[in-house]
């Protein structure tokens, strides 16, 4: 009986160590991945200089091409699933559409300004016409359709 218990404990330790080892390898890969990101994360100040100056009463769009602003958070599961889709779209529409990310935890005043109460929330900004908001996780095809609407 003691031998069986020892074997079970030994197996549990081996399984735990191998699982932790793989997680470390994944984290190391992420840390050394220097691939440039196509989606640009903005601070409040950068948002005010590149997208809208929210300090003005009649803020107007400051960009030179249509834009999408993804309001998200690092802890949000749907936001994490949306992020690689937006990266793909940013590369596909490079030079045609700017795609930005705003962390609602770091930029609370921006989230309040745009009445963000659910995330992910994406603000689509055409060069002409009204900006509009999409809330929730969307698939790539649906986002491509919305991008074509603002081009």
Per-domain boundaries in the chain = 1-34, 40-150
Closest of 36, 27, 113, 25 to residue 69, by C-alpha: 113
Domain 40-150: which topology?
Answer: Glutaredoxin (3.40.30)
The set of catalytic residues is 76, 79
Under a CB-based contact definition with an 8 Å cutoff, are residues 68 and 39 in contact?
A: no
CA distance readout (Å), 108 to 10, 15, 49, 112, 151: 48, 42, 17, 6, 29
Q: What is the pLDDT along the chain (151 residues), one digit of tens a residue?
A: 445 444 433 443 344 333 333 334 434 444 444 555 688 898 888 888 888 877 767 777 888 999 999 999 999 999 999 999 999 999 999 999 999 999 999 999 999 988 999 999 999 999 988 889 999 999 999 999 999 999 8
């Amino acid at each position: 009986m003691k031998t069986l218990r020892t074997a079970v404990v030994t197996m549990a330790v081996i399984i735990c160590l191998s699982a932790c080892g793989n997680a470390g390898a994944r984290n190391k890969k992420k840390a050394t991945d220097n691939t440039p990101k196509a989606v640009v994360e903005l601070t409040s100040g950068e948002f005010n200089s590149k997208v809208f100056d929210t300090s003005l009463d009649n803020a107007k769009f400051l960009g030179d091409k249509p834009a999408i602003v993804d309001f998200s958070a690092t802890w949000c599961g749907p936001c994490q699933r949306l992020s690689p889709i937006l990266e793909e779209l940013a590369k596909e529409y490079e030079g045609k559409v700017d795609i930005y990310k705003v962390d609602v935890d770091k930029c609370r005043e921006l989230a309040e300004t745009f009445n963000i109460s659910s995330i992910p929330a994406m603000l689509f900004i055409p060069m002409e016409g009204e900006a509009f908001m999409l809330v929730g996780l969307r698939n790539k095809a649906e986002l491509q359709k919305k991008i074509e609407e603002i081009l």
